[in-house]
Amino acid sequence: MAFPEGQKPDESVGQGGNGEFEFVEVADVDDDVFDRLYRDVLQQAFPPSELGNLETLKAEYRPPPPGNAGTVALDGGEPVGAALGEYSTVSGVMLLSYLAVRGDMRGRGLGTKLLGRALPLWRKTFGPVATLAEVEDPRCHRAGPHGDPVARLRLYDRIGARMLPLAYLQPALNVGLPRVRGMLLICLDPELDAVPRGALLAFLDEYVIFCEGEKALRNEPEFRAQRDRILALPEDVPLWSLSRVAEVPRTEFETVLPHSEG
């Protein structure tokens, strides 16, 4: 990760299983630690459709090229959590690509601690117009071995996150993987009341082209419908409280689960 001249983050600590967590930048961990982070933390927190393969993530974060950044939590030298992000110079948007905590460490506030370290550093380093994250809509995804969508929303609500008022479709991250429907796009900047529509559209166009190609962006009905939904929003897209998730209209491409929490 590139830091402004003269800036180098200090290591910070918090309560871990052995007394304290150690927080380090992803650029400073070795390949063995990164492999264990992927196997023991990321793979346990995300289904394959929402997680790039190990070689892809190594290309993105080992070492991170300009614009990519991440904070890793260690407990006794073992990786137990991470916040990984990507900054787009095209749109000016920072994406929290992955926030994950090892299963036996959940419920200790580690996710909040990771965000409390990573987000201010990313804002200072990159100056994004907005920092966004993709989360599962609890109406479309149930709790399971990879986590609980309701609990995730509660975590983000505690740090002041709000959501964009539209149904969101994540493009297929790898060849052979499905797109992820029933998602929400949230903003992690509590001081913002809106996100520029132009930045949002540029971010999503770039994302789809990178993952699936320009032809998919132009021709696939789901992506065309998503662009139309964004273009119908105000120039400054208002941010909603996460408590209004039930008001976000889902699309004809998605399935809302019966008796789901929302």
Which long-range contacts link 46-52 to residues 24+ away (Cβ below 8 Å)?
Answer: 46/98, 46/100, 46/146, 47/146, 48/177, 49/172, 49/173, 49/177, 49/178, 49/179, 49/180, 50/134, 50/170, 50/173, 50/180, 51/98, 51/173, 52/173, 52/174
Q: What is the pLDDT of the chain when averaged over all its residues? A: 87
pTM across the whole model: 0.86
pLDDT in tens, 194-238: 999 999 999 999 999 999 999 999 999 999 999 999 999 999 999
